[in-house]
Structure 1
Amino acid sequence: MFVSGNTSPRLGIDLAGGTSITLRAVPERGQESAINKANMDTAVSIMERRVNGLGVSEAEVQTQGNDNIIVNIPKGTNSQQAREQVGTTAKLYFRPVLATDITGATPADPSPSASHEATDKSTGTPTPSPTPSATETQQGRAVTDALKADAAPSPSPSSGSGDANSKLQAQYASLDCSKQSVRATAGKGVLPTEATVACGKNSDGLWQKYLLGPAEVDGTDVKKAEAVYNTQNTAGWIVTMEFTSRGAKKFADITGKLAQNQSPQNQFAIVLDGEVVSDPYVREALTGGSAEISGRFSQEQAQSLANMLSYGALPLTFKEDSVTTVTAALGGEQLQAGLIAGAIGLALVVIYLVVYYRGLAMIAIASLMISAMLTYTLMSLLGPAIGFALNLPAVCGAIVAIGITADSFIVFFERIRDEIREGRSLRPSVERGWPRARRTVLVSDFVSFLAAAVLFVVTVGKVQGFAFTLGLTTLLDVVVIFLFTKPLMTILARRKFFASGHSWSGLDPERLGAKPPLRRTRRPSAPIETKEA
């Protein structure tokens, strides 16, 4: 049993089966030019985030043609939930925060939270101060008053807005965002003109619940969002936003209102797909048409938030064209055929080694077994570690690697045999042949690894599985020949069977056509000339 608890590699969709979803991009009226590579790539990024949120590994999300996105999800995932996640158009809203609180277990010694502050881009970004405690307005009368102040005017006394507020207040009080089933439904299907509840993570990684007012700014009001490293002060990574002319006015109005409130009602929540992705606070009305969000962001966090803000501005929706359930039957048949082909190839390699190299073939076979064990172990560990899944192209890459590994052994053996042909004994031949073989093996493996790396970078989808496996096994070839094959050859060179050049050792000097052994001889002394008197 491995440390990760997995004793077998994770299988890809072609071997384990799964669900394939085809989505077609549909632009809003009059914005047909919105279907372009940049917008489609951003949509793929958001969908990958959604699928990852389901705990799915080896999911493939990629574009096909100009306006299609293909999502392949392996077996073991709730296909209906996955369809709802990737098929729903992302809606981004800026909502005022009425109340917020941590739900679920809290850490014994929580680290200080990094507060996020929205400021006018033209005035710079001040160093954020700690966010005031949000617990003062969490429950009871403060929440009720906030709902009353934020509720839309009732058309008549019998409209029932008071009942709706009481129901929403009770929903907020019982909301437990630490439960995945609760997060999956919180804030979903609510109109932007209605108050709602939502969930989001704070900087300590704890789930936090929110009571939010109606949306004041729409995601399409954001013209541009970028992650920028601010070198002017200690703010570090920040997210800059630029609004449309209509969005700038709405943003100035809502920030002006929020700046007059106490925490947490001086915050606005950026809500994507019903989840709060950021909740910065404001100190003053932001009237410049642009703003910055700061607060100890890492580069990854800043870029992620910028992508989400950009996606909310995309005038694209996606229509589900088809959903196909992929069975593992076809992949299993292809895998079986591939394994048979690999076994035949391996058998031919072994037969060649035995016939041509005889006893040396045992060293090669033992090295191949070590390489196979290491490859299998790494594939099993990389499944839970980085989400690697074994698919048919990856199996193909592992089979191709057999030839690369066998080639390294042949280079080493031939260098040793060349030294024996020169008349040297086995032990000096091993030590003299190794440096020459080592250079050749490193150059050959470097070329193979470079080809695999280039293929991994320039391709997408399953072809990357082939490139990854080929590169991995190429690195393992270097490890095996340096740490196993060479030391084993050095040890066996001291054994009589190999050292004496037994006819079945593969190192028989007579069979190799070796020259007579090199021996040192004394130089004949020069004749002494007699001198005449």
Structure 2
Amino acid sequence: MAPNRNIPNPARTLLTLFGVMAVLTVVMFAQGHPTPKLGLDLAGGTSVTMTAETESGKKAPAAQMDQAIKIIRDRVDGSGLADVDIHKEGDNVIVVSVPGNKEDSGRIVSLVSAAAQMQFRQVLVSAAGAGTATVAPTASPTATGTATPKPTKSVKPNVTESSKNRALSKAFAAPTPTPTTSKSTTPAPTTTTTPEIDPSALGADYSKVTDKAVIAQFEKTNCEAGPPGTQVEGADDPTKQFVVACDPDGQEKYILGPVKVLGTEISDANAQAPNVQNNQPGWEVALKFKSKGADQFGDLTKLADAAYTANPNDPEARIAIVLDGRVVSAPAIQSGPILGGTASINGGTDFNEEYAKGLAQSLKYGSLPLKFPDSGQNIENISSSLGADQLRGGLIAGAIGLGLVVLYCLFYYRALGVVAVLSLIVASAITYISVVILGENMGFRLSLPHIIGLIVSIGITADSFIVYFERLRDELRLGRALRPSVEVAWNRARRTIIVADAVTFIAALVLYFLAVGGIKGFAFAMGLTTLIDVVVVFFFTKPLVALLARRDFFAKGHKLSGLDSHRLSKPTPVARLKRQEA
């Protein structure tokens, strides 16, 4: 009789599985860390307690606290790190527990505490950052020459048009006006510290600033007095029509007009690496606005472009990008309004990779509805000693459970039980490799709930073996030979195995999306091991049984094989019924 070509070659199937495992093992060692990353309870880490602050001083609304937790969780998930616990305590407190080393902890603390409240405002007045008197942003053109201001160091965006037409990047260039007469000179801006001088005599135009208190604050502000990027009080309030702000270097100060576009109108933000060919010296953040925000941003750039067309030195030709009360940059619109709904923030060499990616994550997942000031933060280190004791107890319990499963399989199935033991070993090896690779590439960290899920999966995996073995023994009781019984039993058992594993996987999937914290970790581990169980049963257990069926030890029913005729002489009720029907 010709062999059934629909039956896979068991030896080839086993070799394929071991080949894949070998490749994954090489990848695991090539990553440089062949051990799993551990979570907060096993490796220790940092716990950050943040207290929300409201303007009224009362407790924060529950809806805003829940929204803040959701935004923080989205930011953390987007950063690629896992097993970060975020929960609320009381009315105003959010606790973020970060596993791992101090470098990861510091990055997450910075990420979750940043309010990321972005505003786009038009610059109305600008002056040097130091001094108490207002300085003209530029001298008015005369017959003898034009005084050109030194461009701000905070913005050095690329000046080439994007190949993807995403931002008309020339429009976000720093102000570099060109003199219009041949006798022009380019002296540094003139600065005076004499309060009695009329600001209008120096060229400053307060005509559009109707708040005298803001003008007084502007004249008193010294941006160079504090560290670079010092925030001016009140500059982060979107309800204020006029605010005073400093540039990142403290060399320039501004009076900014009303908020024209809020950061909530940003639909997407992505960090982009430097591109020397496009004259992009540092990292930048590419922004994409929502429909309403795109229209608002287009209208704002039209105003700035009109001001630039009338007078390239007019401060109103510049748009200030304000993040949490600090001006990230204040570029001029030089090449027409930006109407495509996209733009980019480029801080030149001041934007490094970490800052650009953190800013992009914060903007992408939204601004926090509440303030979490530094004074309300409490950072403490968490020891891993308690988790290590619990891990030791969990491993002991898992070893006892695994030992009982092995003893049962060997006692009841004899040599056939060795197949179950080998299958458990292969499943454990694949699980270990998967955990290490996921930890290195996706930030997966092994915690106590994960380990509990892995231990529980031992029973799920053993169930699959038992279903197949019992089906095989039923076929032998009907009087069939071993080799055809292996295939018939498999055809019947695999449906049961697939259905059982599918139910378990769906339960794990639902639990994963509905739960948080440790329960979510338990669900992930259970879902992962359920998939591994399917792989092992299909690509190891069944092919190995098919190979062993060719050996006389099993084919002739040796008393230690687990398939001996004496043990199978008493047919089950199902087998008796089938014999009667036959």
Name the TM tier (shorter chain): 0.5 to 0.7
* Cα drift, residue 57 of structure 1: 5.2
Mapped to 2, the partners of 1:152 and 1:401 lie a distance apart of 76
Alpha carbons 1:240, 1:293 under 8 Å: kept: yes
Alpha carbons 1:98, 1:146 under 8 Å: kept: no
Residue in structure 1 matched with residue 508 of structure 2 by the alignment: 452
Gap change, CA 1:2 and 1:497, over 3 Å in 2: same
Mapped to 2, the partners of 1:483 and 1:450 lie a distance apart of 22
The percent of aligned pairs where both chains have the same amino acid is 35
Gap change, CA 1:482 and 1:331, over 3 Å in 2: same
Gap change, CA 1:446 and 1:334, over 3 Å in 2: same
1:406-485 pair list within 5 angstroms: 406-485=462-541
1:224-373 pair list within 5 angstroms: 225=265, 227=267, 238-240=289-291, 257=307, 261=312, 266-272=318-324, 276=328, 293-295=341-343, 305=363, 307-308=365-366, 310-311=367-368, 314=369, 316-318=371-373, 320=376, 322-373=378-429
* Cα drift, residue 98 of structure 1: 4.4
**Greater strand fraction, Structure 1 or Structure 2:** 1
* Cα drift, residue 51 of structure 1: 10
Which digits, 9 at most, give the CA deviation of each residue in 1:320-360, with x for residues without a partner?
36443211000000000000000000000001001000001
* Cα drift, residue 428 of structure 1: 1.1
Residue in structure 2 matched with residue 45 of structure 1 by the alignment: 71
Alpha carbons 1:267, 1:282 under 8 Å: kept: no
Which digits, 9 at most, give the CA deviation of each residue in 1:367-388, with x for residues without a partner?
1111001000010000121111
Answer yes or no: is 1:196 the counterpart of 2:247.
Answer: yes
Mapped to 2, the partners of 1:503 and 1:111 lie a distance apart of 81
* Cα drift, residue 92 of structure 1: 3.9
Aligned-partner residue type, residue 323 of structure 2: V
* Cα drift, residue 115 of structure 1: 6.5
Mapped to 2, the partners of 1:435 and 1:340 lie a distance apart of 37
Which secondary structure does the structure 2 equivalent of 1:445 belong to? helix
Question: What RMSD in Å do the two structures reach over aligned CA positions?
Answer: 5.0
Mapped to 1, the partners of 2:114 and 2:525 lie a distance apart of 35
Aligned-partner residue type, residue 68 of structure 1: V
Aligned-partner residue type, residue 421 of structure 1: R
Mapped to 1, the partners of 2:256 and 2:421 lie a distance apart of 70
How many pairs align? 444
Aligned-partner residue type, residue 271 of structure 1: L
Residue in structure 2 matched with residue 216 of structure 1 by the alignment: 256
Which of 61, 84, 94 is residue 86 of structure 2 equivalent to?
61
* Cα drift, residue 430 of structure 1: 0.4
Gap change, CA 1:37 and 1:336, over 3 Å in 2: same
Residue in structure 1 matched with residue 13 of structure 2 by the alignment: none
Alpha carbons 1:94, 1:219 under 8 Å: kept: yes
Which secondary structure does the structure 1 equivalent of 2:36 belong to? coil
Which secondary structure does the structure 2 equivalent of 1:451 belong to? helix
Alpha carbons 2:304, 2:319 under 8 Å: kept: no
Alpha carbons 2:476, 2:485 under 8 Å: kept: yes
Alpha carbons 1:408, 1:441 under 8 Å: kept: yes
Residue in structure 1 matched with residue 209 of structure 2 by the alignment: none
Alpha carbons 2:246, 2:253 under 8 Å: kept: yes
Answer yes or no: is 1:70 the counterpart of 2:95.
Answer: yes
Which secondary structure does the structure 2 equivalent of 1:509 belong to? coil
* Cα drift, residue 131 of structure 1: 2.2
Answer yes or no: is 1:187 the counterpart of 2:226.
Answer: no
* Cα drift, residue 463 of structure 1: 1.5
Residue in structure 1 matched with residue 201 of structure 2 by the alignment: none
Gap change, CA 1:85 and 1:220, over 3 Å in 2: farther
Query: What are the ranges of 5 or more consecutive residues in structure 2 without an aligned counterpart?
Result: 1-27, 124-150, 179-184, 198-218, 236-243, 269-286, 346-358, 576-582
Which secondary structure does the structure 2 equivalent of 1:424 belong to? coil
